[in-house]
């Protein structure tokens, strides 16, 4: 296991995630409670659309583990199937099938048989909307008209008062939308919901008292590791967008330890364009240079959870109106104005041209680095040659 990477969540931890989520806790609050990164918590919750999974229960008529233990001990005493059935109050055929499907008399083991029965009990059950085409069409049509699930459920009951097969709860509609494994409704219909959420939130969920601006689950800079603050270890980055005229932008990244800069061409300021471009660039970096990223409060990084999921690079957000908390990046953006003056568009530059500018900047000696260049400093730290 890679150093610093925590083990998989166990059953108790997964249950705790959903308990906190039902209480209305934010993703970052849950991550702090379980001492995990926000990205892993977001993945665990988003996998089920933010809807707490229903706990599995053993069928009342199914054999219990205790009964299987009795069967195993009885087989060890060479008892007949009939006597075992009489002892447990079960039919002989039940005992016979149980033993046959789990290795026979010689190989039957209670715990292994119980585990296999639990796995066999899983049944891929179609949801209501998948089974009822007419109902599904009505729900999809009303969603496309931007009706809420509650409005749809109420209208169906009034429209079809005697047809129970055309009735559905609003919660079932939400579950079918957010849990895409059900496959009954198109994922695009989620965009028709007024909230534009991609996950179901608890009724008691609130952002009151959370100073996170408009970015959901933002982890504040105060939680950034101390090693990033003192610049002792490479791999901690600061980032921002450098704006040009006509709503054009370049993403800029600066490594705190060496002041090494990267320029990334982005199609726009929207979250998808920025995060996807940064994901492609960050994935090209060696693992030792992927520790953290500090960003301002711009909504272009509202997709930070997706970014962290793809890159394993935790994002920390500066306090509102505190650009000095990303001083290296602010200084570098100032230097870049020599190449990208204000009032001019920046979308005309190719990625190769941006790389050339970054290379020129990274080969300049810096007073703060004892007049070494960022490329030299980073190469010295990593023990490899840096061409930029």
Q: Which of 105, 108, 155 is nearest to 135 (CA)?
A: 155
Report the pLDDT averaged over residues 37-44.
Answer: 77
Q: Give the pLDDT confidence score for residue 97 in this predicted structure.
A: 93
Report the pLDDT averaged over residues 110-139.
Answer: 81
Q: Which residue has the higher pLDDT, 78 or 149?
A: 78
Q: Residue 218: is its pLDDT beyond 70?
A: yes
Question: CB of 129 within 8 A of CB of 140?
Answer: no
Q: Residue 151: is its pLDDT beyond 70?
A: yes
Measured at the alpha carbon of residue 219, what is the angle toward residues 218 and 225, in degrees to the nearest 5? 160
> pLDDT, tens digit, for every residue of 90-118?
999 999 999 999 989 989 999 999 888 88
Question: CB of 166 within 8 A of CB of 153?
Answer: no
Q: Residue 361: is its pLDDT beyond 60?
A: yes
Q: Which of 314, 248, 313 is nearest to 281 (CA)?
A: 313
Q: Which residue has the higher pLDDT, 265 or 118?
A: 265
Report the pLDDT averaged over residues 155-178.
Answer: 85
Report the pLDDT averaged over residues 112-141.
Answer: 80
Q: Give the pLDDT confidence score for residue 91 in this predicted structure.
A: 93
Question: CB of 228 within 8 A of CB of 182?
Answer: no
Query: What is the distance between the alpha carbons of residues 8 and 44, in angstroms, rounded to a whole number?
Result: 11
> pLDDT, tens digit, for every residue of 281-328?
999 999 999 999 999 988 899 999 999 999 999 999 998 878 889 999
Q: Which of 18, 4, 36 is nearest to 219 (CA)?
A: 36
Report the pLDDT averaged over residues 81-85.
Answer: 92
Report the pLDDT averaged over residues 337-355.
Answer: 94
Q: Residue 89: is its pLDDT beyond 50?
A: yes
Q: Give the pLDDT confidence score for residue 71 in this predicted structure.
A: 93
Question: CB of 249 within 8 A of CB of 340?
Answer: no
Q: Give the pLDDT confidence score for residue 212 in this predicted structure.
A: 42
**What is each CA distance from 233 to 222, 227, 262, 288, 317, in whole angstroms?**
18, 6, 18, 9, 19
Question: CB of 281 within 8 A of CB of 293?
Answer: no
- Tracing tokens 């690079």 back to the chain, one arrives at 313
Mean predicted lDDT score pLDDT of the chain: 83
- Tracing tokens 């008691």 back to the chain, one arrives at 204
Lowest mean pLDDT among 7-16, 17-26, 119-128: 119-128
Query: What is the distance between the alpha carbons of residues 185 and 188, in angstroms, rounded to a whole number?
Result: 8
Question: CB of 192 within 8 A of CB of 144?
Answer: yes
Report the pLDDT averaged over residues 79-92.
Answer: 92
Q: Residue 376: is its pLDDT beyond 90?
A: yes
Q: Residue 345: is its pLDDT beyond 90?
A: yes
């Amino acid at each position: 296991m890679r150093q610093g990477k925590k083990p998989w969540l166990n059953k108790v931890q997964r249950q705790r995630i959903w308990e906190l989520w039902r209480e209305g806790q934010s993703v970052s609050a849950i991550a702090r409670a379980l001492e995990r990164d926000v990205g892993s918590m977001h993945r665990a919750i988003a996998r089920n659309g933010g809807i707490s999974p229903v706990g599995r229960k053993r069928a009342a008529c199914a054999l219990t583990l205790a009964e299987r233990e009795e069967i195993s001990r009885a087989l060890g005493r060479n008892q007949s199937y009939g006597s075992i059935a009489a002892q447990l109050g079960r039919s002989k055929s039940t005992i016979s099938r149980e033993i046959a499907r789990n290795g026979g008399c010689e190989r039957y083991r209670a715990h292994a048989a119980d585990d296999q029965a639990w796995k066999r009990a899983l049944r891929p059950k179609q949801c209501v909307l998948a089974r009822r085409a007419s109902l599904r069409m009505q729900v999809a049509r009303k969603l496309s008209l931007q009706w809420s699930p509650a409005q749809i459920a109420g209208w169906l009951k009034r429209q079809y008062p005697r047809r129970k097969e055309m009735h559905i709860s609003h919660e079932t509609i939400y579950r079918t939308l957010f849990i895409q494994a059900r496959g009954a409704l198109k994922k695009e219909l989620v965009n028709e919901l007024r909230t534009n959420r991609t996950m179901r939130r608890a009724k008691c969920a609130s952002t009151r008292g959370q100073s996170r601006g408009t970015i959901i689950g933002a982890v504040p800079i105060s939680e950034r590791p101390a090693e990033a603050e003192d610049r002792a270890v490479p791999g901690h980055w600061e980032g921002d967008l450098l704006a040009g005229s006509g709503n054009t932008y370049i993403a800029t990244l600066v490594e705190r330890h060496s002041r090494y800069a990267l320029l990334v061409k982005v199609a726009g300021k929207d979250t998808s364009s920025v995060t996807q471009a940064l994901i492609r660039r960050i994935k090209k970096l060696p693992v030792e240079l992927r520790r953290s990223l500090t960003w301002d409060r711009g909504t272009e990084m509202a997709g930070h959870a997706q970014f962290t999921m793809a890159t394993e690079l935790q994002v920390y957000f500066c306090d509102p109106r505190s650009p000095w908390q990303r001083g290296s990046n602010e200084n570098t953006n100032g230097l870049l104005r020599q190449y990208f003056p204000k009032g001019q568009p920046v979308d005309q530059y190719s990625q190769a041209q941006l790389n050339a500018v970054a290379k020129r900047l990274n080969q300049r000696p810096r007073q703060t680095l004892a007049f070494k260049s960022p490329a030299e400093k980073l190469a010295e730290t990593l023990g490899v040659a840096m061409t930029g």
